[in-house]
Amino acid sequence: MLTYSFETIGSESMYEYLYHCIKKDILQKKLKPDEKLPSKRAFAKNLGVSIITIENAYAQLAAEGYIYTLPKRGYFVANLEGQTLHPLRERQQKTQGQKQKNEPAYYADFVRNSVAPDSFPFSVWTKLLRDVTDTESEASLLSDTSVGGVMKLRQALAEHLYQFRGLSVEPEQIIVGAGTQYLYSVLIQLLGRNRSYAVEDPGYPRLMKIYESNDVTCHPIPMDPSGIIPDYIKSSGAQILHITPSHHFPTGIVMPVSRRYELLSWAAQQNEHYIIEDDYDCEFRLFGKPIPTLQSIDIMEKVIYINTFSKSLAPTFRISYMVLPRHLVERYYERLGFYSCTVSTFEQFTLARFISEGYFEKHINRMRTYYRKQRDTILKAIRQSDLCPYVTIREEDSGLHFLMKIHTQIDDAKLILAAKNAGIRISCVSQYYHDNQDHQTHEIILNYSGIEPDKINTAIQRLSRSLLAVILHPEDAT
């Protein structure tokens, strides 16, 4: 009889804890394929819990494809190896096995965006993909789709945005594309290469390069504690503003409503003014309610909303979407309607079901809990380390990173090198300025999305020792 201890249950409900225990045993092959699981009544009696707890745990495992039922026979472990891998997992495995030879072997990487290997619901995705193949018509699966994407996906996205982001949009306003970088280039074609663009400084490093590679003028605009500064936007002469108001990278700033209205006022001053709102990791606010979008308070239809599944599902999941103001939709189809949608029809139909059948919401809830534990473990390790008196933590309640201010005058490059020599990869806010030579912030960005939980304490110990050596003995830093 299976036996699990509930002593380390933490904040999880009993059924969630049991679900994770059984799932872990299945993934680690302690429970073999087609092995019969205990009956609900016998299992409940053995563990000293209610039958409802067992039923809920089994139901979740069955919904995700880890177990299956046979009428009047009970529950059995699914043969996961017998299932066809989704291309996403295959791409992940190839990427992990083909690292560049000159890439350092870090013990822990606080820079790279990644996901825990077992966090993506592969079994659910495989099941839904199989259902799509079985139930959708051949014509809809094999015919060329609208440039905007499969209507079922756009309908699911419109409902999701209304329920979780307070956006009231029509499916026709949504354009699906293979990644946000592709959508940026589409927007340049839609709005015009003769427009000048403004981006946040510091900010996402590739963004300015993308705009410049598309032969448009791009201005880095400085920020204050409320976000990008309106007066500098005006003096730059920019007409298109690209911002991340709900959670800025890398500073973590959440733009207050007063600054949002200032920017909307700027956008309303001229017809060619638009704001591109990048809501890239809105799902992972770990404290309080989600921050309302800029688009939700825009009455002049000046905001173009963009989001991606790269953060919520996996970096290799190249499906993004944008929501155009109604008056731009007609222009989009007139000028760019000759394009084909760049996302596979099969993946679009599968994602539509993943969202509409509630799997996406469940996945986000699970990942939010997982990342909260990751963050809390790292913060606890920092507080218990010798480095604690020399640091200040900021912006730890949103997104998948936070900032650690180091109380030192040592150059950021030396801090990064010291950590590298200890096998820890870090980055500093100063690296994300357009001219990083003039900004020595001494603020380390700790991205915890891909850190293995069992490496956290050792990683922080290594980081603490390496940084302390530089802080206390700067003359030895090389």
CATH number of this structure's domain 128-360: 3.40.640.10
Q: What is the pLDDT of residue 361?
A: 92
Domain positions in the chain are 14-82, 108-117+361-476, 128-360
Q: What is the pLDDT of residue 477?
A: 55
Q: What is the pLDDT of residue 121?
A: 84
Q: What is the pLDDT of residue 92?
A: 44
Cβ-based neighbours of 211, under 8 Å, separated by 6 or more: 184, 188, 197, 199, 218, 242
Q: What are the b/e assignments for 202-232, b being 16+ CB within 10 Å? A: bbbeebbebbeeeebbbbbbebeeebbbbeb
**Most distant CA pair in the chain: distance in Å?**
74
Can you give the pLDDT of all 478 residues of the chain as single tens digits?
Answer: 788 887 777 777 788 889 889 998 988 889 999 899 999 988 988 888 888 888 888 888 877 778 888 877 889 998 876 544 444 444 444 444 454 444 557 899 999 877 766 678 888 999 999 999 999 888 788 876 678 999 999 999 999 999 888 899 999 999 999 999 999 999 999 999 999 999 999 998 889 899 989 999 999 999 999 999 999 999 999 999 999 998 898 998 889 899 999 999 999 999 999 999 998 776 666 555 667 889 999 999 999 999 999 888 887 778 999 999 999 999 999 999 998 899 999 999 999 999 999 999 999 888 888 888 999 999 999 999 999 999 999 877 766 889 999 999 999 999 999 999 999 999 999 999 987 666 778 999 999 888 888 899 999 999 999 999 999 877 665 5
Angle between helices 345-356 and 122-135 (to 10 degrees): 110
Q: Which CATH number does the domain 108-117+361-476 belong to among 3.30.365.10, 3.40.800.10, 3.40.50.300, 3.90.1150.10?
A: 3.90.1150.10
Q: What is the pLDDT of residue 117?
A: 62
Angle between helices 122-135 and 87-97 (to 10 degrees): 140
Contact present, 393 and 403 (Cβ < 8 Å): yes
CATH number of this structure's domain 14-82: 1.10.10.10
Q: How many CB atoms lie within 10 A of CB 50?
A: 13
Helices (H) and strands (E) in the chain, counts: 16, 16
- Ramachandran quadrant class, 5 (left: phi over 0; alpha: psi -120 to 50; beta: rest): beta
Tokens of residue 286, six digits = 């770990």
Residue type, 239: Q
Contact present, 401 and 445 (Cβ < 8 Å): yes
Contact present, 295 and 303 (Cβ < 8 Å): yes
Q: How many CB atoms lie within 10 A of CB 431?
A: 17
Altogether, the residues listed in the chain come to a count of 478
